[in-house]
Structure 1
Amino acid sequence: MAFDSFAELLAMGRHGVYVWTAWGISLGLLTLCILLVRGESRAVQRTLRRRSRRELNASSGEADHEG
């Protein structure tokens, strides 16, 4: 290991603040992207389910009027 202690690892020769801030921002942005994509995916699925139900109801209604 390049560092003698955990404190030295965190300090990284006085560059630790910048390194860990960059890691934190990157992790935060990746987490935000994942959450936004999951939310958008759920919204699209909900819209498709509603549209499918509406089309099924419309097609069953047309069948009732034909007979």
Structure 2
Amino acid sequence: MIWHNAADFWAMGGYAVYVWGSVGVSVALLALEVLLTRWGRQQALDRVCEALQAGALVQSAGDAS
């Protein structure tokens, strides 16, 4: 497809709603994937830290007796 100006490019031959809508949905889903991955990683790290702290407390309680 040949575009003669920027307006033709953005119009995408009359399919702009479908093309740019698809691009928008794809970008939104990729951003959501990144956010959910970061959130899940932070939750996992928090659980590991809690488990390590709980293990340290149990170990120190065993040493005290």
| Partner of residue 26, structure 1 | 26
Gaps in structure 2 of 5+ consecutive residues: none
Q: Percent identity?
A: 27
Normalising to structure 1: TM-score of the pair?
A: 0.88
After TM superposition, where is structure 1 displaced by more than 4 Å over at least 4 residues in a row? Answer: none
| Partner of residue 36, structure 1 | 36
- Once the two structures are superposed, the pairs formed by residues 37-56 of structure 1 within 5 Å of their partners are 37-56=37-56
Whichever structure has more helix as a proportion of its residues is 2
What amino acid is aligned across from residue 62 of structure 2 in structure 1?
E
Gaps in structure 1 of 5+ consecutive residues: none
Instruction: After superposition, give the CA deviation of every residue in 1:6-57 in whole Å (9 maximum; x if it has no partner).
Output: 1111001101111000000011111111111110110110111011011011
Number of residue pairs the alignment of both structures matches: 64
Normalising to structure 2: TM-score of the pair?
A: 0.91
> What is the Cα-based RMSD across aligned positions, in Å?
0.9
